[in-house]
Amino acid sequence: MSRDYILDKDESEVGDIVWWKESVVYQIYPSSFKDSDGDGYGDLQGIYEKLDYLENLGVDVIWLCPIYDSPGHDNGYDIRDYYGILRKYGTMEDFDRLLAEAHKRGLKIMMDLVLNHTSDEHAWFAESRSSKINPKRDYYIWRSGKNGQVPNNWESYFGGSVWKHDPETNEYYLHLYSEQQPDLNWNNAQMAEEMYEMVHWWLEKGVDGFRFDAVAHIAKAEGLPSAHNPDNLPVVPAYQLFSNLEQVHSILKKLNNMILKPYGPMTVGETSGLGPEQALAYVGTDRDELNMVFQFEHMFIDAKSSGIGKWNYKEWKLTDLKEIMSRWQTVLHGRGWNANYMGNHDQPRPVSRFGDDGKYRVHSAQMLATWMLTLEGTPTSIKEKRSA
């Protein structure tokens, strides 16, 4: 089952066979997968014990949700140390063993990596907030208030303002997600270099790919202007001011050409708020950025709005789902590559959502799996339920 394809640096044809086009990706949410020591949390040893099971399933790539050292305010997506393993999951030696044993079985490991923000307990942020003249102050995005108010009217994905006042220096820092997840400032060249080096470190260790979390948001509009607000609300959605901006592409091109390309990893970007035409800016064969993206268009088909509004259900039609997926297949055909999925750690279970989890549970699961496996692109499945 081993995949020995090597991504040629000069590859330009989307039809050329490379390993990630021939793969099935299996997502593992580590804390709920397999608990090997009875402490109530899944761990790396538990994943190691299930490698033969995964191999027998026909899995090619294991996508690990974050296993880095983290306070856990956002399920590990608030990283405290990019070079450390969260203690409840094990040690770096456990990870090295898992990686080596996966490779022996022809399995590849894709890491979940957050480039947009860190934990507020990261050593960089501790320095950044300590003083306005600290060398790492501009590793994050700080602003003074305006007339006793926050710097602008952007709404956080977690609700409320994107700004948090910090009394240490009497300024606000920006957080698109929780206040424990301050956004990094990709305009700071030294911070960017340290992030590039961190990615290189994991590639040297032997990981086979990355899912780049929230990568569409790593660039913000120059000057951080307030969003249009005709109703004069305290905060408003401002996605167009921090999503899929042109600077994102220049950052990814540099990352790919400097760090990624010599290793040929699988790269998937989490990119909300775009259609297939815009996705080609990331995955087009002439772009030198990412292999594929996780798009959200079909994930909002039953939601009244994005963000926290996705839990407000609205009726949907099968023909709408068909139209969305057909358009992604058609537009990217011969020009880019799809990452196909119907559920992940951010979404409800696909059988309950798009099928019938009662009488026709098995039939629904088979139908959805068959559909995913027959689309052009790399299919991704999810396994969160605890395994024996």
Spatial distance between the Cα atoms of 158 and 212, rounded to a whole number of angstroms: 19
Neighbours of 15 (CB within 10 A): 7
Tell me, yes or no, if 155 is annotated catalytic.
Answer: no
Active-site option among 60, 74, 213, 289: 213
As to burial, measured by CB atoms within 10 angstroms (0-12 exposed, 13-18 middle, 19+ buried), residue 323 is middle
Q: Tell me which residue of 24, 103, 25, 97 sits closest to 64, measured CA to CA.
A: 25
Spatial distance between the Cα atoms of 329 and 324, rounded to a whole number of angstroms: 9
CA distances 283 to 90, 271, 287, Å, are: 35, 11, 6
Spatial distance between the Cα atoms of 87 and 81, rounded to a whole number of angstroms: 12
As to burial, measured by CB atoms within 10 angstroms (0-12 exposed, 13-18 middle, 19+ buried), residue 146 is exposed
Rounded to 10 degrees, the C-alpha dihedral 321/324/329/330 comes to: 130
Tell me, yes or no, if 213 is annotated catalytic.
Answer: yes
**Strands, sheet with 142-143, edge to edge from the N-terminal-most edge strand:** 142-143, 171-174, 163-166
Amino acid at 178: S
Active-site option among 270, 289, 297, 384: 270
DSSP E strand stretches across the chain: 25-28, 61-64, 68-69, 81-85, 108-114, 142-143, 163-166, 171-174, 209-213, 266-270, 292-294, 339-340, 378-383
Amino acid at 97: R
- Whether residue 47 contacts residue 30, with contact meaning beta carbons closer than 8 Å, is answered with yes
Any idea which residues carry the catalytic annotation? 213, 270
